[in-house]
């Protein structure tokens, strides 16, 4: 067998394979012999039919099977010989195939990038010296208080920091706002809408014009929509709102005491404080680890350059676009605002996809160099954990994960974690003072 390799694009190879005539003839004979042993012809027991009758009846199938076996075996050998790892199925083109002649075929295939592995020991990392302080615990307890806040209706004028429950209807250029922006129904009219008496809440300047109002009072509020307003049709325009105050509410926080602790499942305040501190310490530990690994990844990416398979990059980019769009939609960003940023979203997604693929190939190569693997036992433990979380039978989950590709993703995630653990253990870590909070 002779093999020639030609670059035809980023990580794309044209593999030309020529197989000796003797090897082709041997494949024909082996397939023919197998057909003679197993083929059935009327009037003959299996294996007893004359060879010439078998060839007359099954000649085309014998040739196709011989060709298939030769293609599969020698394509695989060609890749192994040249250390090429395919990431897509090949496009095979038959050039020459006949008994008594050399077989020649070409395969166009995208392969994993080939690059020299950069030095990955002693990677520099700057890690902040930071501990959980009493101030951190107090701030966390304040967050817990906020989650248990009560909003009590009061009989007095609205003050800064209060909450107003209002009914409103708005116009722009003398018309209902939906005439200008059909999707902005929430900006046109609302009943029992809660407003926090802060200047920037809702539309900037809206709540300032309600201060001093009492329950039942009606006011006209005039606002100028910001030039960067999320609903572009209204940007920079004047809006006029008729507002009725339905209720004035004051937020009241519970005291930090044993009753608050019991509300969160602790026996007393001391136990709650201890639990809050543990949670903060775990959060700090995880943040330091994320920061460390982000620095390791950034340094690695800066030390090597290589092309990526275009099909993989495009698939990864599509996934990143979907994630960005979904995250924006989940945050309540209107569809028209997302559509207006299509180019920006694609650019960000493309760069994110490029970095993710590069680090995947880098970590995989380091794993090979360090002989790091993920055992079936380790994979199984994580699947059992996932099955318990999702309340599914493990065997059913494995089947679904294998079909969706999630199983391969989990394997890669576990491998990446092991490699990053190694890189962190070999890193040159410098402890630096914490930046001011």
Three-state secondary structure call for residue 431: strand
**H-helix or E-strand spanning residue 19:** strand 12-19
What is the rounded CA–CA span in Å between residue 293 and residue 274? 29
pLDDT at position 44: 66
**pLDDT tens digits, one per residue of 344-397:** 999 999 999 999 999 999 999 999 999 999 999 999 999 999 999 989 998 999
* Region label for 83, one of left (φ > 0), alpha (ψ between -120 and 50) or beta (otherwise): left
pLDDT at position 35: 78
Q: Is the pLDDT of residue 419 over 90?
A: yes
Q: Is the pLDDT of residue 437 over 70?
A: no
**What share of the chain has pLDDT > 90, as a percent?**
75
**Domains of the chain and any CATH numbers:** 2-110 (3.30.70.1050), 150-252 (3.10.50.40), 286-433 (1.10.3120.10)
Task: Say if residue 289 is exposed, middle or buried (CB neighbours under 10 Å; 0-12, 13-18, 19+).
Answer: middle
Q: Is the pLDDT of residue 426 over 80?
A: yes
Q: Which of 160, 143, 138 is nearest to 253 (CA)?
A: 143
Residue with tokens 């994580």: 382
72 vs 62, 64, 88, 197, 402, CA distance in Å? Answer: 16, 12, 15, 72, 24
Q: Is the pLDDT of residue 54 over 80?
A: no
φ, ψ for residue 189, nearest 5 deg: -160, 145
The per-type count for the chain, helices as H runs and strands as E runs, is 13, 12
**Residue 422, CB half-sphere, CA atoms under 13 Å: how many?**
17
Q: Is the pLDDT of residue 26 over 80?
A: yes
Q: How does the average pLDDT of the chain come out, rounded?
A: 91
* Region label for 426, one of left (φ > 0), alpha (ψ between -120 and 50) or beta (otherwise): alpha
| Residue 126 banded pLDDT, cuts 50, 70, 90 | very high
| Residue 341 banded pLDDT, cuts 50, 70, 90 | confident
Q: Is the pLDDT of residue 21 over 70?
A: yes
What's the mean pLDDT in 409-435?
Answer: 92
Q: Which of 252, 276, 285, 52 is nearest to 150 (CA)?
A: 252
pLDDT at position 331: 85
What's the mean pLDDT in 60-65?
Answer: 87
**pLDDT tens digits, one per residue of 184-193:** 888 999 999 9
| Residue 284 banded pLDDT, cuts 50, 70, 90 | very high
What is the rounded CA–CA span in Å between residue 263 and residue 256? 11
Residue 255: DSSP 8-state = P
Sequence-ordered alpha helix ranges (H) in 265-372:
269-302, 310-330, 335-339, 342-370
Residue with tokens 């775990």: 282
What is the rounded CA–CA span in Å between residue 28 and residue 69? 10
Task: Say if residue 17 is exposed, middle or buried (CB neighbours under 10 Å; 0-12, 13-18, 19+).
Answer: buried
pLDDT at position 102: 94
pLDDT at position 418: 95
* Contact present, 213 and 157 (Cβ < 8 Å): yes
| Residue 45 banded pLDDT, cuts 50, 70, 90 | low
Q: Is the pLDDT of residue 249 over 90?
A: yes
pLDDT at position 50: 67
């Amino acid at each position: 067998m002779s093999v020639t390799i030609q670059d035809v694009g980023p990580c794309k190879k044209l593999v030309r394979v020529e197989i000796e005539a003797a090897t082709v003839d041997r494949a024909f004979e082996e397939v023919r012999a197998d057909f003679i042993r197993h083929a059935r012809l009327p009037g003959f027991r299996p294996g007893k039919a004359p060879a010439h009758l078998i060839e007359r009846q099954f000649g085309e199938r014998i040739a196709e099977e011989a060709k298939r076996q030769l293609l599969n075996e020698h394509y695989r050998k060609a890749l192994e010989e040249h250390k090429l790892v395919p990431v897509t199925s090949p496009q095979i083109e038959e050039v020459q195939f006949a008994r008594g002649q050399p077989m020649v075929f070409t395969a166009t295939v995208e392969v994993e990038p080939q690059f020299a592995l950069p030095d990955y020991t002693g990677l520099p990392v700057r890690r902040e010296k930071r501990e959980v302080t009493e101030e951190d615990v107090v701030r966390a307890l304040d967050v817990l208080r906020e989650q248990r806040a009560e909003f009590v209706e009061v009989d007095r004028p609205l003050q800064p920091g209060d909450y107003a429950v209002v009914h409103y209807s708005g116009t722009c250029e003398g018309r209902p706002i939906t005439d200008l922006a059909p999707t902005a129904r929430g900006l046109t009219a609302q009943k029992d809408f809660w407003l926090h008496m802060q200047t920037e809440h809702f539309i900037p300047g809206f709540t300032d014009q309600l201060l001093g109002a009492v329950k039942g009072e009606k006011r006209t509020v005039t606002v100028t929509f910001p030039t960067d307003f999320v609903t572009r049709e209204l940007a920079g325009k004047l809006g006029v709102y008729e507002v009725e105050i339905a209720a004035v509410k004051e937020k009241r926080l519970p005291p930090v005491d044993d009753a608050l602790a019991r509300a969160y499942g602790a026996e007393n305040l001391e136990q709650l404080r201890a639990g809050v501190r543990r949670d903060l310490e775990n959060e700090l530990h995880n943040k330091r680890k994320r920061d460390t690994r982000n620095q390791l990844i950034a340094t690695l990416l800066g030390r090597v350059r290589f092309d990526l398979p275009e099909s993989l990059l495009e698939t990864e980019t599509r996934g990143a676009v979907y994630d960005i769009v979904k995250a924006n939609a989940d945050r309540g960003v209107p569809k028209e605002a997302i559509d207006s940023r299509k180019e920006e979203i694609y650019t960000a997604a493309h760069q994110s996809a490029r970095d993710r693929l590069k680090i995947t190939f880098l970590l995989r190569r380091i794993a090979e160099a360090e002989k790091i693997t993920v055992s079936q036992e380790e994979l199984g433990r994580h699947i059992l954990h996932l099955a318990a979380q999702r309340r599914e039978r493990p065997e059913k989950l494995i089947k679904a994960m294998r079909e969706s590709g999630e199983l391969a993703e989990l394997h890669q995630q576990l491998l990446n974690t092991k490699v990053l653990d190694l890189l962190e253990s070999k890193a040159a870590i410098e402890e630096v003072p914490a930046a001011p909070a």
